[in-house]
Chain A
Amino acid sequence: MNLKALLTGRWAVVGGFALAAVLLLVVAPALLSSFRLGLLGKYLCYAMVAVGIGLAWGRGGMLVLGQGVFFGLGAYIMAMHLKLADAPASTGVPDFMALISSDGVPVWWEPFRSGVVTVLAVVLVPSAVAVLLGLATFRRRVRGAYFAILSQALAAAFAILLVGNPRSTGGSTGLNNFKGFFGFSLRDPANRLMLYVIAVVALLAMVAVARQMMVSRYGELLVACRDAEERVRFLGYDPAVIKTVAYAVAAAMAGVAGALFVPIVGIVSPNDVGIVPSIGLLIGVAIGGRTTLLGPVLGAIAVAWAETSLSERFPSGWTYAQGLVFMLVVAFLPGGLASLRRRPPGAAQPSPVPTLSGSSR
């Protein structure tokens, strides 16, 4: 697959999507066991987050270190709905809450009894938080490192908040042991296959959305904001709005990913949302090539796959590998693996990664 042709030719795009759909929807279920397919579904969730990171970080130059928050918001909203739906009809109180206390369900859980509200909230709550934080920071021209640190602090605070309220969020164990998904039993392999298919469709849809945003005029503006924000401002655009849109879209993608992660994996805990997982999400994007469309997706899937297969056998080795990859890829191959292939020998190419040109200090 030539990435450039994929990004330019209309038929190449359609063909690429069709090929990916066939691979993921027909070939993978035929070849993989139900267990492996579940794992692949989990990787696809990370890939969804990566699509958003590619947009916000690669194209928009915003180093988003807190995507775990949006992932977690989507995941916990979905988990609350599933827990409430599983709860015995007589009391309406989820099992873990009934064990800890007799106070009943917190008020802010109640809206998520409704499936419609849940599905809407999975998309809207993360984007609303992102719009709020985005406008608050970008409008005052807080950016670069300051924005990165704030988004990181948000992830830390969110994880601490979850751990600190075990009665309503399950504390450090998180929420788990889900039995059904909108009326379908999660025990049934056919329903698990359905969840996988939903994840594939969601991922393909997100890639399509991201591609459309990248090739549109908006995408040009976003890249312009990354490379020379002041010039965009002088031309009469508002960089704050442009950047906030990308940030909110990335947040919504992470929220949907989290919501699908919960029924596919069966657990969500503060370990999935804090600083380390949030930055961990960036590693696949960095390896794949942050400014490309498919690099983040493939990178995220590869890293997630490597983590499962390596961390079982060499638990400490995986941490070393992760750290070394961060150091080596970001320092010496900032364009990711995609930059290796796209550069013909001798041809001058624009830098695949923005350098400091008035936008980061």
Chain B
Amino acid sequence: MEILLSQLFNGLSGGSILLLAALGLALTFGQMGVINMAHGEFIMAGAYTAYVVQGVLGDAGLSLLVSLPAAFVVGGLLGLALEALLLRRMYHRPLDTLLVTFGVSLVLQQLARDVFGTAGVDVAAPGWLSGPVEVLGFAFPKTRLFILAIAVAAVVVLSVLLAFTPLGRRIRATVQNRALAETSGISTRRTDRTTFFVGSGLAGVAGVALTLMGSISANLGTAYIVDAFLVVVVGGIGQIKGAVIAAFVLGVAQSWIEYSTTASIAKVVVLALIVVFLQVRPQGIFVVRTRSLA
């Protein structure tokens, strides 16, 4: 029972990281069908932002609070640049965006290696996040709880944004029916750009969270990008709640299977489970109903 609970917490913690990595993807993939492989490198850019901010400010607590918005802006601007320079001309062939953004991710990784070196760098966690906290008799690391809190906050903010703001209405309209949204006077171009900024910014935030987990290096993003995409595939397109459920289910499943086998076998089993799941629900957990045939 105790093991079950601690694995559950490990799973929730892993799921929250997955969720942070996948949230932005769910947004951009859902709205534009763009498969952004460079999303992982935006995560890395966020992590290195935290490293640079800490180098400038020194104090670990203050720099963490500063780097969260800073990384959001850095990730967002990278996304904006990618959208404006490359992806804008490729919306009619979404599969090719995967290869283009893979090229971008190669370049960004090499850039990070040349700037920050190939060795991993560390970002110090602030004092108020060190050590464990006791919950129900279990010791949980505070950093992991903090990441969980960031993930929950990101989901809440994003849901409120989507549900109640004019921007959110425009985004939802574009996801559901792009042509109709356009005829109704919505600038889908501008909506796309904003969505990409927000989605990529969330990757930056995820990067800051990852600095609390260990040292960071240029291939930080590659470790998360595939799992993040799987979350989007399982969760279904265009809905935040699908991504939330998928991330936590995958996180918990991974951690439980990992406990009874090994990490590498758990990966394969989870992938097999996903393929089986897609037999039942090929479009993921939640589907935005449209009248399109395919």
A and B associate:
yes
Chain A positions within 8 Å of B, measured between CB atoms, are: 61, 63, 65, 133, 136-137, 140-142, 144-146, 148-150, 152-154, 156-157, 160-161, 163-165, 229-230, 275-276, 279, 282, 286, 316, 319-320, 322-328, 330-331, 334, 353-356, 358-361
25 contacts between A and B (CB under 8 A): A136-B278, A137-B275, A145-B33, A145-B35, A145-B94, A150-B274, A150-B275, A152-B226, A152-B229, A156-B226, A157-B267, A160-B263, A164-B262, A319-B109, A319-B110, A320-B110, A323-B106, A325-B103, A326-B106, A327-B103, A328-B103, A353-B93, A356-B92, A359-B294, A361-B292
A330-B96 in contact (CB<8A): yes
Contact with A along B243-280 (1 / 0, CB 8 A): 00000000000000000001111011001001100110
A286-B93 in contact (CB<8A): no
Nearest B residue (CB) for A332: B89
- Bound-state CA distance A279–B95 (Å) is 13
Q: Which of A136, A156, A334 contacts B267 (CB 8 A)?
A: A156
Give chain B residues whose Cβ lies under 8 Å from the Cβ of A152.
226, 229
A319-B99 in contact (CB<8A): no
- Bound-state CA distance A207–B278 (Å) is 34
A275-B114 in contact (CB<8A): no
Whether B293 sits at the interface, judged by CB under 8 Å, is yes
Give chain A residues whose Cβ lies under 8 Å from the Cβ of B96.
330-331, 334, 353
Interface size bracket, B side: 35 or more
B233-A361 in contact (CB<8A): no
Distance between B220 CB and nearest chain A CB, rounded to angstroms: 15
* 5 closest cross-chain pairs (CB), A and B: A326-B103, A164-B264, A323-B106, A323-B107, A327-B103
Most B Cβ at <10 Å: residue of A145, A320, A322, A359? A145
Q: Which of B93, B103, B278 contacts A146 (CB 8 A)?
A: B278
Given A145-B29, A323-B110, the answer on whether A279 and B99 have CB atoms closer than 8 Å is yes
Give chain B residues whose Cβ lies under 8 Å from the Cβ of A275.
222, 226
A229-B86 in contact (CB<8A): no
A322-B95 in contact (CB<8A): no
